[in-house]
A and B are shown apart, each in its own frame.
Chain A
Amino acid sequence: MSDETNKPDKRWDLGGRDLEVLLEEAKQYKGESLWSDAWRRLKRNRSAFWSLIILGVILGVSMLAPLWPLASPMALDLQLEPQPPVAPWVEFGRTGWDSTGYWELGAIDSALLKVRENLFGDWQFERWMGTDSKGRDVMSRIVWGSRISIQVSIVATLCSLLIGVTYGALAGLLGGRVDNAMMRIVDILYSIPFIFLVIFVLTLITEMKTELEDAGIETLDVFYLLLGLIYWLTMARVVRGQVLALKNSEFIEAARVMGASTWRILFGHIVPNVLSIVIVYLTLTIPAVMLFEAFISFLGLGVQAPKVSWGLLASDSVEAINPVHSYWWLVSWIAGAMGVTLLALNILGDGVRDALDPKLRGKD
């Protein structure tokens, strides 16, 4: 040991065996952590595993949307009525894509669009899912619209994780009056009717839309802000409850006896142990948030045209349902996309909960 000056006596020389060799040997005896055990069991859960794969594919397709040879989601074709789908085996693709027909894209998206232009030129897929009443390609709109849903989930997830987990864990760990005060703040925020708040704020915002846009703020950003403000609350409560249960356990006491600081106990011991519950809760929150965004956009308060989101598509499709015409493709594709995504998220959430349940550990 390096500090032999503090302890002059030799009684603590444990030596004897060749430790360097043992250290090398120890590398072969890998233990199975609770995480790898959970992952193994998740993989065995067929439906959950396939849900994970489907979600991965959806995420990939959506994130790389500018790369696919899709029509522009805002390219109008006003001469046309809603066009029925053309099956890919009838007509696979066509030309006529225009690289300027997009709203203002970020740097990465623009770069991806450039790559697409080099790869495919002005070639694009035929309207496999039909077009809407303004002649826009439904498939392209679904793919581009999914990005908003994913962004919303990411915002809610980050807020839950960063604010919710830290806040809840701190409240539970500090206890007493601090805990009391912190949880009353959560209660107060909870008592605000969220939907009304969002509708109210977003309606106000539309009044000042031009001023905000001059300042570079979009309505959607305000929506994200509100989402972030609210979506950590439940997480804070869930985590606090878990921490209260954990904080008197002996391994936390052992850490305190060692002299571990509050932060070390919090992030070294408590957070890793509540993380499984956090993950389960997240997988069940994400679909709720996605649905909520769709609802807000459906009401016309979320995403504004020409941008597109799933809520907006659903809203469009409602107009398509009337007794005279049945433009079924306007309803079924978007409903299918939302249905598959939400179902996969819920099945995955269930599977993750089972996989992380310590009572089921070792059983399959």
Chain B
Amino acid sequence: MTETLLEVKNLAKHFPIGSVGLTGRPDHFLRAVDDVSFDLHRGESLGLVGESGCGKSTTARAVIGLHKPTAGSVKLEGQELAHLSARQWLPYRRRMQMIFQDPYASLDPRQTVGSILKEPLTIHKIGKPRDRRLRALALLDAVGLNPRYLNRYPHEFSGGQRQRIGIARALALEPDILICDEPVSALDVSIQAQVINLLKELQERFNLAYLFIAHDLAVVRHLCSRVAVMYLGRVVEVAERDQLFENPAHPYTRALLSAVPHADPAVEAGRERIVLEGDVPSPHNPPSGCSFHPRCPERDRVGARCSSEAPTLIERDGGRFAACHLED
């Protein structure tokens, strides 16, 4: 087994909603992330999938310290990060960086590409100004952009090129972990493939570990070696990629996988789909017991336990983890 870099345990993030009176005490909480655990090994890529609003991005932001976790721990090689102040976080920023979803919003429109790439080096006082400029050139080259465009501005690039700039910025600090928050979902399909391949190539070259957030299962299948499935702020299943895609354990995973259309219309027509009833419940007031039980097609097989007791994510046969009473 390869070395464990990042260990996330029982991570929770609750957002206060509404405030009462002058004290500003919130009257209730939105449980965006509730009890999420996973770990990430050196050089691997862990996909984090789930439908919109299930807490994928919040998990990523809590892991990297953009949100302070409400509870739980985030350990980077044994060092607890969850409760550090911004100043204490600083040295660990070099180990863990992030790629953002929207390449149009994630680059400061008033900075040249050069200064965008130099900024992390300046913040961490790495090298002299001239070294930084040369490093920015090398980074542009590494992500497949023409280094001559160092003095151009983000608005002079296309979406795919901008995303490459975002990737180069994340690489500037020479991290071990890259958190990719839906890095391709804002791009055209043809560009998506290029960026995915770039990420794959960079992973091999720099031995990076990815926490790859996506809602596109095909992308995850292509890029990730392990996959975690989230539903309503909780991880419901974690498994090796092939195991998860071929033999999913959790009913939600099965439903999610069956929603992916097949490219061949003949196959598509004969394919059996699991259609879930109802909508995702509100995270203000999640259902009792297993949060998936009101929509679960299998709930009759287990009975009342689903609505009274929340299943825990425990290891099942074949080394996969699933949170479902069906598997108990």
Binding site for B on A (CB under 8 A): 1-3, 7, 11-12, 14-17, 19-20, 22-23, 25-35, 176-177, 249-251, 253-261, 264, 268-269, 272-273, 358, 361
Contact A258-B123, Cβ < 8 Å, known A15-B138, A29-B149, A32-B156: yes
Besides A2-B131, A17-B141, A259-B124, 4 other CB < 8 A contacts? A23-B150, A26-B147, A26-B148, A32-B156
Contact A273-B141, Cβ < 8 Å, known A32-B153, A258-B173: no
Q: Which of B24, B61, B134 meets A23, CB within 8 Å?
A: B134
B176-191 vs A, Cβ < 8 Å mask (1 yes, 0 no): 0000000000000000
Q: Which of B24, B100, B109, B123 meets A259, CB within 8 Å?
A: B123
B319 to chain A, nearest CB (A): 29
Q: Which of A3, A14, A17, A259 meets B93, CB within 8 Å?
A: A259
B142-175 vs A, Cβ < 8 Å mask (1 yes, 0 no): 1000011111110110000000001001000110
Q: Do B128 and A22 touch across chains, with their CB atoms under 8 A apart?
A: no
Which chain A residue has the least Cβ–Cβ distance from B96?
A257
Alpha-carbon distance A34/B156, docked complex (angstroms):
10
Q: Which of A2, A19, A30 meets B137, CB within 8 Å?
A: A19
What residues of chain B lie closer than 8 Å to A19, measured between beta carbons? Answer: 134, 137-138, 147
Q: Which of B119, B148, B166 meets A25, CB within 8 Å?
A: B148
Which chain A residue has the least Cβ–Cβ distance from B89?
A259
Q: Which of A11, A20, A31, A268 meets B134, CB within 8 Å?
A: A20
Alpha-carbon distance A238/B134, docked complex (angstroms):
39
List, sorted by A's number, 25 A–B pairs whose CB atoms are closer than 8 Å.
Answer: A1-B126, A2-B128, A2-B131, A11-B205, A19-B137, A22-B148, A26-B149, A29-B149, A31-B149, A31-B153, A34-B109, A34-B153, A177-B24, A249-B105, A250-B101, A253-B61, A253-B100, A254-B100, A254-B166, A257-B65, A257-B93, A258-B119, A259-B120, A269-B110, A273-B109
Alpha-carbon distance A30/B153, docked complex (angstroms):
9
B206 to chain A, nearest CB (A): 5
What residues of chain B lie closer than 8 Å to A177, measured between beta carbons? Answer: 24
B181-230 residues at the A interface, CB under 8 angstroms: 205-207
Q: Do B147 and A22 touch across chains, with their CB atoms under 8 A apart?
A: yes
Q: Which of A11, A27, A28, A258 meets B120, CB within 8 Å?
A: A258
A248 to chain B, nearest CB (A): 10
Alpha-carbon distance A61/B247, docked complex (angstroms):
83
B222 to chain A, nearest CB (A): 23
What residues of chain A lie closer than 8 Å to B153, measured between beta carbons? Answer: 31-34
B66 adjacent to chain A (CB < 8 Å): yes
Alpha-carbon distance A7/B173, docked complex (angstroms):
11
Chain B contributes a number of interface residues (CB within 8 A of A) equal to: 55
What residues of chain A lie closer than 8 Å to B93, measured between beta carbons? Answer: 257-259
B259 adjacent to chain A (CB < 8 Å): no
Which chain A residue has the least Cβ–Cβ distance from B132?
A1
Alpha-carbon distance A77/B300, docked complex (angstroms):
108
Which chain A residue has the least Cβ–Cβ distance from B108?
A251
User: Would you list the 5 A-B pairs with minimal beta carbon distance, nearest first?
Assistant: A31-B152, A14-B138, A250-B106, A26-B150, A259-B93
What residues of chain B lie closer than 8 Å to A29, measured between beta carbons? Answer: 148-152
Q: Do A253 and B123 touch across chains, with their CB atoms under 8 A apart?
A: no
A57 to chain B, nearest CB (A): 31
Alpha-carbon distance A213/B169, docked complex (angstroms):
60
Alpha-carbon distance A1/B169, docked complex (angstroms):
16
What residues of chain A lie closer than 8 Å to B61, measured between beta carbons? Answer: 253
B98 adjacent to chain A (CB < 8 Å): yes
Alpha-carbon distance A86/B65, docked complex (angstroms):
76
Q: Do A31 and B112 touch across chains, with their CB atoms under 8 A apart?
A: yes
What residues of chain B lie closer than 8 Å to A34, measured between beta carbons? Answer: 109-110, 153, 155
Contact A251-B105, Cβ < 8 Å, known A1-B135, A259-B90: yes
B56-106 residues at the A interface, CB under 8 angstroms: 61, 64-66, 86, 89-90, 93, 97-98, 100-102, 105-106
Contact A11-B147, Cβ < 8 Å, known A269-B108, A273-B110: no
What residues of chain A lie closer than 8 Å to B128, measured between beta carbons? Answer: 2
Alpha-carbon distance A253/B99, docked complex (angstroms):
10
Alpha-carbon distance A30/B148, docked complex (angstroms):
9
Contact A251-B149, Cβ < 8 Å, known A11-B207, A32-B156: no
What residues of chain A lie closer than 8 Å to B141, measured between beta carbons? Answer: 14, 16-17, 22
